[in-house]
């Protein structure tokens, strides 16, 4: 089942001054449960693609269909609400609200969704346990390592029960051990919760863990490869 | 949830919050004290001039104001006095005989304003007795006179001394009398204090040979009574040829000075508010801009703009509330202290104030209405200034168009 479909997506920055063609006709379909890495050289359009899929930026032409909804048709508050209920975000850094604890950061998204307290409590502890931070629930972001902060961000992204999670270079600020650890957690959540992940990365070790690797160059998809699970490769 | 966020955000940058709160506190205390002082000056001026001396309106012969001669005296009208007795708005009224004379002591002479009063009535209605500086109030001893403090200093006399007065009486009779000074009085108006001689009414009538006659009936109103309404009510009861003279007309200097003090008050407060506004705005600008990244993340993950706006608004309002509340709390003792220990100007400064007809002793007014007003204004200002942040949030984009 298709969760995301982009049709002939193009993006031109600064069309009136110095036009930059960041995306040139990207057609991409993502099925439920996929674990997809978007890779490519710097400036190839990875961030631009993820931003447009996530409804954070507008395409110049083409469209993004999420679960049958053309998100370009959503305006203002409706778009914000759509993001809240359908998309989980993990950014490269500064994901968390500094004044809230790990637990509160995860709960925050569910509060925005007006979920009942019992459900919130259960889901928050389940998720923080899943990302291995059950002993850090009362810690504020400043008391957590970069890797731990990103794990909280992943937990928060999942808390809203979104259709999929978008992560733009989630491991860029992490050392390789933390990066692999974060990816392993994402993979496990992908398998256990059948959560769809789309993330961009430069890191080979991260790419190795992806099930599908979409390569961009100059705003175009130049290759789209399905890989086997890491264990299967090992075997 | 938004409340928690705002509250914690306040303590993110403790020092800044503390400085902002402190500056608001200071501004509120300053505004309150300043205002209490200026309102106090106004009130003292009106009280001492109107409440104690002139009354709010005076019943006079129509021509008296233009020609303050004893020809324009009258015998109080029964119908009018019994009407005044029944009016609930009226705190009291008295009758006076006022005219000028020459006063001398030893070898100094000065023109004075002789005012014959009903000592018991004045004491009850205006609390005149409390204004006595040295010596005593009238106790019915014949020949007693009370003189203004400034006059006493000028003539270099004190209670126990003798004062001789010469003048012209009713129908051109010559007036002369020798009086025993029983006390000196301070009315709070330099004009009066330098010129005033109080006599008991019958003795003044005797001095001026104007038996049973008076020049004016000052009418004193209760607090919070509309002077205009009372005037309208009294007008029809006045006998032919009489008028109601409002204090504003009788004392244009005071009216002007009140206006001056009011203007000063507005200027000082406006400047203060402008200063404090910049302080609050600075905090709001920093509070917003240093968090733009965080606000963008919040917007991305699905927090509605209005919720962010409420969060920021709450933060500035909380700071303002804390500052204003502390300011309110600190103002009370400060203003009370200045009420008990009024600022007193001496020497040249005193002369300057006095030339405006303002008493150089300045007690503050302890008025919670003033405190509340300024606290609320500060609160309102912080809400208005938050529009900077609200506007920022309104135009916030997760992905900026340019970079
Ligand atoms: N806001 C913007 N305004 C103008 N040009 C932009 C903007 N954002 C991106 N670009 C340009 O669009 C192109 C694609 O940028 P994008 O950030 O999507 O690349 P990327 O693949 O994410 O690169 P990196 O690996 O460095 O993160 C680049 O040429 C970039 O300079
Ligand atoms: Mg990028």
pLDDT in tens, B364-389: 888 888 888 888 888 899 889 999 99
Contact present, A227 and A210 (Cβ < 8 Å): yes
Average pLDDT over residues A111-119: 95
pLDDT given for residue B393 in this prediction: 93
CA distance A66 to chain B (A): 16
**For residue B357, what pLDDT band results from cuts at 50, 70 and 90?**
low
pLDDT in tens, B186-207: 887 778 889 999 999 999 999 9
pLDDT in tens, B67-106: 888 888 899 888 888 999 999 989 999 999 999 999 998 8
**For residue B256, what pLDDT band results from cuts at 50, 70 and 90?**
confident
Contact present, B56 and B227 (Cβ < 8 Å): yes
Does the C-beta of B403 come closer than 6 Å to ligand 1?
yes
pLDDT at A170 over 90: yes
Contact A94 B300 (CB under 8 A): no
Whether residue B292 lies within 8 A of chain A, CB to CB, comes out as no
Average pLDDT over residues B164-179: 90
Cα R_g (chain B), whole angstroms? 30
Q: Which of A68, A82, A89 is nearest to A156 (CA)?
A: A89
Residue A9 CA, ligand 1 centroid: distance in Å? 15
Task: Write the residue in A51, A77, A95 that is nearest to B304 by C-beta.
Answer: A77
**For residue B403, what pLDDT band results from cuts at 50, 70 and 90?**
very low
- Residue percentage of chain B with pLDDT more than 70: 98
pLDDT in tens, B220-255: 988 778 888 899 999 888 888 899 999 888 888 778
Distance CA B303, CA A105 (A): 13
pLDDT given for residue B365 in this prediction: 82
Query: Domain-by-domain residue ranges, chain B?
Result: 2-49+255-401, 63-240
Chain A positions contacting chain B at CB under 8 Å are 13-14, 51, 54, 56-57, 77, 80-81, 83-85, 89, 91, 94-95, 97-100, 108-109, 111-112, 156, 160
pLDDT given for residue B111 in this prediction: 94
Q: Which H, E and C letters describe B95-137, residue by residue?
A: CEEEEEEEEEECCEEEEEEEEEECHHHHHHHHCHHHHEEEECC
Torsion of CA A31, A32, A35, A36, to 10 degrees: 30
Residues 3-62 of B with CB under 8 A from A: 5, 8-9, 11-12
Selected residue of A80, A85, A87, A89 to mutate for chain B interface (largest B Cβ count, 10 A): A80
How far, rounded to the nearest angstrom, does the alpha carbon of residue B120 sit from its chain's CA centroid? 26
| Average pLDDT along chain B | 88
Backbone angles phi, psi at B162, to 5 degrees: -110, 145
Does the C-beta of A231 come closer than 6 Å to ligand 1?
no
Task: Write the residue in A13, A14, A84 that is nearest to B301 by C-beta.
Answer: A84
Contact A160 B302 (CB under 8 A): yes
pLDDT in tens, A50-79: 999 999 999 999 999 999 999 999 988 999
How far, rounded to the nearest angstrom, does the alpha carbon of residue B128 sit from its chain's CA centroid? 18
pLDDT in tens, B23-34: 889 888 888 888
Distance CA B146, CA B185 (A): 7
> Looking at A6-10, A172-176, B180-184, which range is the least confident one?
A172-176
pLDDT given for residue B130 in this prediction: 86
Q: What angle do CA A61, A217, A22 make, to 5 degrees?
A: 35
Average pLDDT over residues A153-158: 95
**For residue B184, what pLDDT band results from cuts at 50, 70 and 90?**
very high
Distance CA B93, CA A235 (A): 113
pLDDT given for residue A155 in this prediction: 95
pLDDT at B51 over 90: no
Q: What is the DSSP string of B330-356?
A: HHHHHHHHHHHS-EE--HHHHHHHHHT
B213 or B367, greater pLDDT: B213
pLDDT given for residue B401 in this prediction: 58
Q: Which of A9, A46, A56 to mutate to test the pocket of ligand 1 (most atoms within 8 A of CB)?
A: A46
Residue B37 host element (H or E): helix B14-46
Best CATH choice for the domain A2-227 from the list 3.40.50.300, 3.40.50.1380, 1.10.3720.10, 3.90.550.10: 3.40.50.300
pLDDT given for residue A33 in this prediction: 94
Whether residue B67 lies within 8 A of chain A, CB to CB, comes out as no
Q: What is the DSSP string of A74-120?
A: --HHHHHHHHHHHEEEE-SS--S-TTS-HHHHHHHHHHHTT--HHHH
Query: Domain-by-domain residue ranges, chain A?
Result: 2-227
A110 or B69, greater pLDDT: A110
Burial class (CB in 10 A: 0-12, 13-18, 19+), B202: middle
């Amino acid at each position: 089942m298709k969760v995301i479909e982009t049709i002939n997506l193009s993006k031109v920055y600064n069309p009136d001054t110095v036009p930059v063609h960041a995306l040139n006709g990207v057609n991409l379909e993502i099925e439920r449960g996929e674990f997809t890495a978007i890779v490519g050289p710097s400036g190839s359009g990875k961030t631009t693609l993820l931003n447009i899929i996530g409804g954070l930026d507008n395409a110049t032409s083409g469209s993004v269909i999420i679960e049958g909804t053309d998100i370009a048709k959503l305006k203002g508050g409706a778009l914000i609400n759509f993001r809240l209920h359908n998309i989980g975000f993990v950014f490269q850094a500064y994901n968390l609200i500094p004044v809230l604890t790990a637990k509160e950061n995860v709960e925050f998204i569910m509060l925005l969704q007006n979920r009942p307290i019992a459900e919130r409590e259960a889901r928050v502890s389940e998720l923080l346990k899943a990302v291995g931070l059950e002993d850090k629930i009362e810690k504020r972001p400043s008391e957590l390592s970069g890797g731990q902060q990103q794990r909280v961000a992943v937990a928060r992204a999942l808390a809203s029960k979104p259709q999929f999670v978008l992560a733009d270079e989630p491991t860029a600020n992490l050392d390789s051990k933390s990066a692999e650890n974060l990816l392993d957690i994402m993979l496990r959540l992908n398998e256990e919760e059948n959560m769809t992940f789309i993330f961009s990365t430069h890191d080979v070790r991260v790419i190795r863990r992806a099930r599908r690797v979409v390569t961009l160059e100059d705003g175009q998809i130049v290759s789209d490869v399905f890989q086997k699970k890491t264990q299967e490769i090992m075997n | 949830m938004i409340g928690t966020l705002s509250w914690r955000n306040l303590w993110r940058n403790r020092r800044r919050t503390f400085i902002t709160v402190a500056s608001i506190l200071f501004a509120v205390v300053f505004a309150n004290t300043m205002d209490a002082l200026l309102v106090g000056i106004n009130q003292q001026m009106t009280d001492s001039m109107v409440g104690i001396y002139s009354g709010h309106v005076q019943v006079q012969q129509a021509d008296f104001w233009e020609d303050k001669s004893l020809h324009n005296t009258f015998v109080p009208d029964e119908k009018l006095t019994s009407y005044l007795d029944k009016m609930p708005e009226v705190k009291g009224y008295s009758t006076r005989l006022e005219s000028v004379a020459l006063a001398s002591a030893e070898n100094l002479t000065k023109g004075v304003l002789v005012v014959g009063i009903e000592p018991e009535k004045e004491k009850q209605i205006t609390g005149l007795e409390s204004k006595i500086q040295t010596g005593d109030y009238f106790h019915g001893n014949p020949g007693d006179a009370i003189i203004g403090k400034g006059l006493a200093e000028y003539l270099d006399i004190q209670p126990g001394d003798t004062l001789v007065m010469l003048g012209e009486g009713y129908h051109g009779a010559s007036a002369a009398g020798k009086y025993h000074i029983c006390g000196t009085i301070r009315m709070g108006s330099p004009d009066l204090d330098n010129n005033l001689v109080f006599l008991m009414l019958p003795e003044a009538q005797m001095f001026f040979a104007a038996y049973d006659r008076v020049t004016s009936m000052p009418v004193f109103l209760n607090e919070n009574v509309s002077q205009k309404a009372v005037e309208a009510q009294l007008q029809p009861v006045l006998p032919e040829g009489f008028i109601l003279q409002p204090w504003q007309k009788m004392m244009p200097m005071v009216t002007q000075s009140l206006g001056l003090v009011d203007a000063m008050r507005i200027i000082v407060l406006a400047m203060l508010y402008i200063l404090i506004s910049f302080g609050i705005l600075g905090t709001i600008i920093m509070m917003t801009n240093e968090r733009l990244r965080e606000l963008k993340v919040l917007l991305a993950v699905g927090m509605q703009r209005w919720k962010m706006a409420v969060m920021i608004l709450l933060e500035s309002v909380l700071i303002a509330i804390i500052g204003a509340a502390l300011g309110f709390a600190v103002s009370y003792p400060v203003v009370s202290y200045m009420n008990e220990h009024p600022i007193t100007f001496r020497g040249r400064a005193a002369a300057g104030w006095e030339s405006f007809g303002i008493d150089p002793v300045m007690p503050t007014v302890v008025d919670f209405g003033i405190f509340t007003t300024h606290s609320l204004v500060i609160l309102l200002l912080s809400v208005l200034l938050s529009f900077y942040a609200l506007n920022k949030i309104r135009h916030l984009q997760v992905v900026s168009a340019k970079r």
